[in-house]
Amino acid sequence: MNATRLVSGVLILCGSIACAGPGNGASAPQGEGPPLERMLIAPQVGKMGAPVEVRYSLPPQLAKDQPATLDLAFVPQAEGTNLRVEFPANEAASLGKGAEGMRVGKAQAASVHRLELGITPRQAATGEVRVLVSIDVGNARYAGLYSVPLGSRLSR
């Protein structure tokens, strides 16, 4: 069944369904961190989002109250300025290093901007880290909220 169109028998417009999979590939140097192509795409939540692809990589296993590193990569899909990354409060994990987010003055299309985020999962089996991204493109500003699911990696 197509999850986009038939979610519990309802039609959803501007809905929050998304899925992992390769999007527009970035060709710029990737810098340090996991290879971009091996990172998962963070789904964007809800209404019109930011033209930024967000990828993430987590350790195979996470444990409650055990610190870990969430590798994030931000790939603008258009040339822009004022790329901002923030982390709204969440219940799934406490945030450490990198929690202050990131700001990039000029961001080329397909450039890769990385951030290591220290996380300590609080819950045993559920939750997500949310990433708020905005960018100015031309005369406009776009924003989107992305979700990095932790649940499936947490040991119970």
Partner 1 sequence: MCYKPSHRNSCRECRVRDARIASGFRGVALAVGLVAIHSCGGGGGGGDGPDLAPTPAPNVALTGRIFYERVPLSATGRGLDYAAIVAEPARGVLVEAINTANGSVITTTSTLTTCAGDISCPGRYTLTVPANTSVQVRVRAEMVRAAPEPLPRWRFSVRDIDTSPTPFVYDSPAIQVGTSAVTSDVTIPSGWSNSGQSVGIRHAAPFAILDTVYRSYQFILAVEPNADFPALTLDWSSLNLGFDTFYTSELNGSNPRIVISGEVNVDTDEYDPHVVAHEFGHYIENQFSRSDSIGGPHSITQLLDPRVAFGEGFGYAFAAMVLNDPVARDSFGNRQGNDSFFSVEENAPAGAPRGWYGEASNWIILWDLFDSASDFDDVAFGFGPIWQVLRGSQRDTEALTTVFPFIRALKEQNAAFAAQIDAIVTRQSIASSVIDDYGTLEINDADEPHVLPIYTPIVLDGGPVTVTSINTFGTPNKLSNARFLRLNLPAARTVRFQITADPGRDADAYVYRRGAVVASGELLGNDDFSTALNAGTHIIEVYDCDNGGCGTGVAQASNITVTVSTN
Chain residues binding partner 1 by CB under 8 A are 1-6, 9-19, 21-24, 43-51, 77-80, 86, 88-89, 109, 130, 132, 134, 137-145
Cβ closer to partner 1: 1 or 29?
A: 1
Least distance in Å: CB of 11 to partner 1? Answer: 5
Read off φ and ψ for residue 38, nearest 5 degrees. -100, 0
CA 146 to chain centre: 5
In the block, residue with structure tokens 């990131």: 102
Cβ closer to partner 1: 139 or 156?
A: 139
Least distance in Å: CB of 108 to partner 1? Answer: 12
Cross-strand partners of 45: 145
- Structure tokens, 3: 């999850």
